[in-house]
Structure 1
Amino acid sequence: MKKTDLVQTLTENNNLQKSDVKLAVDCILEKITQSIVSGEGVEIRGFGGFLKKHRKARQGINPKTCERTQVEEKYVPFFKPGKSLKEMVNKG
């Protein structure tokens, strides 16, 4: 599902203005992004949590040339699914 699909679904199912729903979705995603960047993270009970993880520097290999390169340390966004979400996914 893309962001536009989410906006469309929320608009149709709740009889809301598309512009209002788009603004709300944008605000929610911006706040989640800001929380991850600041290191605070976001936890949505039953769904999961968003946080940033530190990755150490390592040796990488270019698959085309087989050349070894140094990959710098960095932070990456990470999603940890909640128990309820894992159970629903496993039930299919």
Structure 2
Amino acid sequence: MNKLDLSQQIAIGADISLEKGEVVLNVILKNIENALLKGESVQITGFGTFALVHRAARQGRNPKTGEAIQIEPSHAVKFSSGKGFKELLNSDDSN
């Protein structure tokens, strides 16, 4: 599923136009981005949590040459699925 497909499903589920479905999705995504940029996590009960994690600088290897390289520190987003979502994914009805 891509962003357009998700917008369409929002529009169908909320009984709104596709354009409004796109606006709703964009507002949700922008708010998640803004919260993460502020260092806040976003918890959606029953679904999961988006959190910003810091990755420290570390040594790595160039896979082509095997040469040691320094990997710079960075930030990444971690998603942890919620209990309800995990249960849904592992239920017999999920297939």
Whether TM exceeds 0.5 here: the answer is yes
C-alpha distance after superposition, 1:50-88 (max 9, x if no partner): 010111111111111212100111111111110111111
What are the within-5 Å matches in structure 2 for residues 24-63 of structure 1?
A: 24-63=24-63
- What SS does structure 1 have at the residue aligned with 2:51? strand
Post-superposition shift, 1:10?
2.3
Q: Which residue of 2 aligns with 1:67?
A: 67
- Identity fraction in percent: 38
Q: Structure 1: any 5+ residue segments left out of the alignment?
A: none
TM-score by length of 1: 0.91
- What SS does structure 1 have at the residue aligned with 2:87? helix
- After superposing on structure 2, the runs of 4+ consecutive aligned residues of structure 1 that deviate more than 2 Å are 10-15
Aligned residues: 92
TM-score by length of 2: 0.88
Cα distance change of structure 1 residues 13 and 45 upon mapping to structure 2, 3 Å threshold = closer
Q: Which residue of 1 aligns with 2:9?
A: 9
